[in-house]
Each structure stands twice: as structure tokens, then as C-alpha cells.
Copies of this chain bind each other. A is one copy, B any other.
Amino acid sequence: MKLRLAMIGGGQGAFIGSIHRMAAALDGLYELTAGAFSSDAEKSRATGVLLGLPTERVYGSYQELIAQEQQRPEAERVQVIAIVTPNHLHFEPARLALESGFHVILDKPMTFNLAEAKQLRQVAASSSRKLCLTHTYTGYPMVKEARQLIAAGTLGPIRKVYVEYPQGWLSGFVEGSDNKQAAWRTDPSRSGVAGAMGDIGTHAFNLLEYVSGLQVEKLCADINVVVPGRRLDDDGAVLLKLSGGASGVLVATQVAAGEENNIRIRAYGDQGGLEWQQADANTLLVRWLDRPAEIRRTGTGYVSSFAQHNARTPAGHPEGYLEAFANLYRNFALTLQADMAGQPAPPEALDYPGLEEGIRGMAFIENVIASGLSVTKWTEFTV
């Protein structure tokens, strides 16, 4: 049986809402059943019509959605709520949903600030409901492969990690014209204390900790507002001290004119290194000290069970961003279904980002901005 899914946010003009809907649809594990797509009831309804939802399942606010769905019979009631609103509207709907007995899929960064994130963890803990945070890039099969290779010690102890996420779409003052995406992402009242660091820096940070299996312990950030008039950072570079004595560099910028969404990670142990980038997402390059580098590929028989589990097509038929996103939805669904069946979920299904990743992401935002303002070189990473 498909899981019944509701969506909060994701009306017309939104970017990430349709991504979530396609990700939910791809594997046939969810049925979009209800939604509060906008705080403007009229707009919410219009989106509902386009999506073919019955009018009684389209709500004018998230409060209404949660309240009314809660009163429906269990066999009909939605089971999972996806929240795809701007950052300042993450916490309240997520809290209410969890407290009201719904599982939650939440867009990143988890909340508006770290305090909210910690509070949400408490709410979740007492709710027995689960939360999935959509850090897309860890859904890629070859990112899974990278993590498994390192976890297995194949490269030796990791010494150095480089992660970067260059974009160019905020090279000009586009928030000055009619660009809804730019508008809220550069607005401190909706985005939080960080711009680029919150929007894409958290992705880079999550990718780094996920792949390397290490944690950031200290950081030293250069945080910039490059475009005149912008109210939040649009560029930054961060030196990192990692657990186990490793070090790293994180770069996130939205003013690298001409760059698309070129997120990339490299990690090196004493025996070899690996490299993955979204632009060639189905390839994991593994270099060795004294033998030829190798090209690991999605859809092959020799990759780890985690990489295989997260692929859908034979090698050479590329899988992309939507498939990576869908992997988060799928693994969350498989976990919930296992729970419902009273069975343990397989480790491959459990491998989706959740509350802990969300809290560390929010801590990253606060620490990196603090470091950017500091005249001292190293700032302790505190949570």
C-alpha cells in the first residue's frame, strides 16, 4: 500500500515543491493525498486542482491540514507530511505534525536556527514519529559508495577532505527583480542568519561529514557579501579541523558566475583518494598510491549493497538529481513500512538524513557565521 502523503508549501512559483512531488511519485511508494500549498487559501486550492486532488483535501493553512487530517479515519488519514516552505516556516509545521502523529519529510536546512532544531529533536523523541531531512546529495548511489569505501577503511585513515559547492545564479542583484527564490533566500527574516552558507553550505557540510565519517571540530571562515546591497552572505570559504586529526576545506559560493550546481567532494586517506561531483554523478573516481585510478559506476554489480540499493537502471543509463531525491523518499518509506510491519528495516533503508544531520547542519550555520565575524583563527564547533 502506498503511503498517504500531504504537502505543506510547494505552490506555484516554488521550486522545491515540484521536486518533492516527483521524488515521491517516482517509485510508487507514496500517494499525494492532501496539501496546504500556500498560506493563501485561494492559491493553495489552485495548486490542488492542478495536482488533481479532491477539494476537501486541499487546505488553506498547515494548521487546518493537520487538524482535519488528524480527525479522518486512520485508513484514510495522511501518514507523512512533507514540508517544503522557506526556512522560517519549518519548525512550527514540523513540530505540530510530529506532535499530531504524522511522520515528517522536511526540506533543509532543518529550522530557522539551532535552538529550534534542538527543540524539534525533543518533540520527535517524545512523538515516536520519524523525520527525514532532504539532503539530496547523500541520496546519490556513488555518494553512498564513497561513504562505504571510506567506512571499510579501503583508503586508509582519512587525512584530507575538500568539499565545494559553487553556484553562479546570485552573481547579480537578482533579488531586486521578480525572483521569488532569490528573494527569500537572501532575506534574513525568512532564511536565517546565513545565505549561501545555509542554502548550499549546509549541503556541502552534510556531504563532507556523511562521506568521510568524520566530524568538524573547529572551523575558520571567510564569509563575504559580494553583491552590493545583498543582506546575507553569498560567498564563503572555510578551513576545517576534523575528528581523527584530519583537516579540510569547504567552499560555498553563489557568485561564481557561470557555475551551475557543481557540488564536489574529494577525500584522501594514506592509501588513496576519491572524488565525486554532481556534474558526473554516476561516477566515483578512486585514486590509488601506486596503481591505476578506477572508475566506479552506478548500476554495476561490483559496488556496495548501499550503492546498488539506491539505483534503478542498468549501468550507463544515467540517474540524476530526481533519483537521488527519490532515494530519500524511498528509504524513508521503506523504513516506515518496516516499522508498520514490525520488522527491522535493512541498513540500506535506514541510511537517510534525519534529526542528527539537521542539528549538525544548523550548528554549522551558526558556527560558520560566528567564525566569519571572529578575528581569532579557529572557532570551536559547538552544538
Contact = CB atoms under 8 A, between A and B. Distances in A.
Contacts of A88: none
Nearest to A267: B256
A156 B171 CA distance: 11
Interface in A245-267: 247, 249, 251, 253, 255-262, 266
A105 interface: no
Interface string A264-298: 00101111110000111110001111111111110
A208 to B, nearest CB: 14
Given A28-B25, A28-B51, A320-B319, A18 B312 contact: yes
B251 A257 contact: no
Contact of A377 (B51, B220, B271, B299): B220
Nearest to A167: B316
A288 B297 CA distance: 12
A14 interface: no
Given A25-B28, A222-B220, A312 B302 contact: no
Contacts of A220: 220, 222, 239, 377
Contacts of A376: 375-377
A316 B278 contact: yes
A294 B290 CA distance: 13
Interface centre among A241, A262, A322 (most CB of B within 10 A): A322
Contacts of A273: 168, 256-259
B160 A260 contact: no
Nearest to A269: B257
B235 A222 contact: no
Given A166-B266, A291-B294, A374-B377, 8 more contacts: A2-B52, A159-B235, A162-B164, A257-B272, A259-B268, A290-B301, A293-B294, A377-B377
B292 A294 contact: yes
Nearest to A291: B302
Contacts of A172: 270, 289
A122 interface: no
A324 B247 CA distance: 33
